[in-house]
Chain A
Amino acid sequence: MRIVKGLTALSALFFAGSVFAASPSAQMNALLDGLKKEAGVASFSAEEGKKLYNAKRVHSQKKEERSCTTCHTSNPAAPGKTPVGKVIEPLSQAANKERFTDPKKVEKWFKRNCEWVLERECTPKEKGDFITYMTTVK
């Protein structure tokens, strides 16, 4: 009984998803288009994204050097570790195809991690460059 219910719910969800929600890549394209408009640029630069990823900065309060690579390592295709040692799946889409497919998650982690490294939110340009780098780097 439970299985039948579960299957019904699952297929309903699938149906709703396919009709009402855009595909992941379409959703991500919409996010990127919005960022382009906000940043006032025609395209993003993977090269700039790479620079941002590797840029090191000393935190004003913690007095420690922080960068994206602190946790994600200098190789975005490699698994990383959080400050308390929990394993982080690779960040680049080439190594982890689930990355950068859900705009909500992308925004959530930009908010949390830009604050952690830069002590501010990231600009639309920075976000666009970063996504472009992570979705194209091999």
Chain B
Amino acid sequence: MKKIKVWDLPTRLFHWSFAAAFLSAFAASSREWFLDYHVLSGSIVLGLVAFRVVWGFSGNPNARFSSFVRGWSETKGFLSGLLRLSPARYPGHNPAVAWVILAMLLFASVLAATGIIVYSGEEMRGPFVGFFSFETAEKAGLIHSIAAYSFLAIAAVHVAAALLHDIIWKEGLIISMLTGSKAVEGVHDAPVVERPLLKKGAFAVLGAVTISAVLVVLPGHKDASGFTRTLLEDQGGLRALERNALYEEECGSCHNALSPTLLPARSWEKVMAGLGEHFGDDASLPEETSAEILKWLAASSADHAFSEPSKKMISSIGDKTPLRITEVSYWKRKHSDIGNDVFSRKGVSSRTNCAACHPGAPLGSFDDRDISIPRG
């Protein structure tokens, strides 16, 4: 057996960047306010998939799909050898891992495609805002999670197999993916057709997808309150709520002026009709004042807003008519891991102080990327 170079540098770099990008996207999906990082890592995954596909037709021999993707009979042969604990040795990818690679590329593409749909239709961000409805985005979101866990399962099998090869058969697979060299016997080199143009194309694709992904995520700077207003307006996905001075003065003197976008118009009608006994206090207003405020509340209500929280509040409320935002089950679910200690912090002071953590709240925006919880 002699040690020869089996993996070219682009293949090795792809392998580890792909793993790192997927893992960081997965980790960043755990918290809403990591959305930027999630989208950034996901976009890099997409760029890497595009690169790998082109590289699969233009790269060095062992990187080409034609060199390692085998039919069912050869795969079956390899698998039965594996079960007998004496798998056939391949210098490059074996027939089983070939299918794992194809499955990973497929699931990563599904993840990227559904991710783009959710980002545009639900988050109202990115270059494809307006192309997908909220309902489409919700379905895409479901597929996105299924694909993510499937990818993770395949990756787990892949890691386990690599460890087996290294521990039992001492192939030195994992180290070879770092150094590029592996000890192999009986090397059979197939003639390789050089495709320099495609080779360059692979890097061009990687660069273009990754750079445009970064550009999509980066623009938009937060204002002093931490709200990315520029994005909201520039990308046209969400219109900023027209603030109402009368509402903020009359209702906001006694309690936080809550966002009208979170309850349906019928809730606001009920609230405004019952001001004489408003949560135990007389908060009555002159007829024309309350009529004017109600007009604005109804026009800005969740029935008319198309932001993600408005839509989700509406579907969570069903045909009920809640008077408090904080009693809606969607609101409760979204805040279930926020403890009382957070709500009673000096910078928050109450569950109704939305703007403490959602700086865009007065403008009807509860963007994931803007969420910032006061520490004190």
Report A's interface with B, CB cutoff 8 A.
62, 82-86, 88, 112, 115-116
Minimum Cβ distance to chain B for residue A9 (Å): 15
**Cβ A86 vs Cβ B256 within 8 A:** yes
* A85 surroundings in chain B (CB, below 8 A): 349-350
In the complex, per-residue mask of B238-264: 1 if CB is within 8 Å of any chain A CB, else 0: 000000000000001111100000000
Contact assessment for A84 and B282 in the assembled complex, using a CB-CB cutoff below 8 Å: no
CA distance A84 to B256 in the complex (A): 9
Which listed residue (B281, B282, B349) contacts A83, Cβ 8 A? Answer: B281
- The minimal Cβ–Cβ distance linking A7 to chain B, given in whole angstroms, is 19
The chain A residue with its CB closest to the CB of B279 is A84
Known: A115-B282, A116-B281, A116-B282. A82 touches B349 (CB 8 A): no
Taken together as a complex, chains A and B put the C-alpha atoms of A40 and B350 apart, in Å, by 46
State whether A112 touches B350 (Cβ < 8 A): no
Number of B interface residues in the complex (CB < 8 A)? 12
CB pair B256–A112 under 8 Å, yes or no, is no
User: B256's closest neighbor in chain A, by CB?
Assistant: A86
Contacts of B252 in A (CB 8 A): 86
Write out the residue numbers on chain B whose beta carbons fall within 8 Å of the beta carbon of A83: 254, 281
B150 at the interface (CB under 8 A from A): no
- Interface: B67 (CB within 8 A): no
**Shortest beta-carbon distance, A110 to chain B, in Å?**
14
- Interchain CB contact under 8 A, B350 and A82: no
20 pairs from A and B in contact (CB 8 Å cutoff): A62-B280, A82-B255, A83-B254, A83-B281, A84-B254, A84-B255, A84-B256, A84-B350, A84-B352, A85-B350, A86-B252, A86-B253, A86-B255, A86-B256, A88-B253, A112-B282, A112-B283, A115-B282, A116-B281, A116-B282
Give Cα A115–Cα B255 distance, bound, in whole angstroms: 18
- Given A82-B255, A83-B281, A112-B283, 15 further pairs, Cβ under 8 A: A62-B280, A82-B254, A83-B254, A84-B254, A84-B255, A84-B256, A85-B349, A85-B350, A86-B252, A86-B253, A86-B254, A86-B256, A88-B253, A115-B282, A116-B281
Q: Which residues of A contact B350 (CB under 8 A)?
A: 84-85
Assembled-state Cα–Cα distance A116/B283 (Å)? 10
* A86 and chain B: residue at smallest CB distance: B255
Complex-state Cα separation, A86 to B353, whole angstroms: 9
| Residue of A with least CB distance to B280 | A62
Cα–Cα distance between A84 and B324 once the two chains are bound (Å): 14
Kindly list chain A residues whose C-beta atoms are within 8 Å of the C-beta of B352: 84
A21 and B37 alpha carbons, distance in the complex (Å): 56
Contact partners of B281 in chain A: CB under 8 A: 83, 116
Question: What is the bound-complex CA distance between A62 and B281, given in angstroms?
Answer: 10
**In the complex, chain A residues whose CB is within 8 Å of the CB of B253:** 82, 86, 88
With the chains together, A2 CA to B41 CA distance in Å? 41
Within 8 Å CB of A62, what residues of B? 280
Give the complex CA separation of A75 and B321 in angstroms.
Answer: 41
Rounded to whole Å, the gap between the CB of A132 and the closest CB of chain B is 23
Most buried by B among A82, A83, A84: A84
> Nearest-CB distance from B322 to chain A (Å)?
18
Complex: A62 Cα to B280 Cα, angstroms: 9
| A101 to B: closest C-beta gap in Å | 15
Q: A86: which B residues are within 8 A, CB to CB?
A: 252-256
A47 CB to closest chain B CB (Å) equals 29
Residues in B315-363 with C-beta less than 8 Å from chain A? 349-350, 352
A83 to B278, alpha carbons, bound, how many Å?
13
Chain B hits for A88, CB < 8 A: 253
State the Cβ distance, B284 to closest chain A Cβ, in Å: 8
Which residues of A sit under 8 angstroms from B254, Cβ to Cβ? 82-84, 86
Complex Cα gap A12–B350 (Å): 42
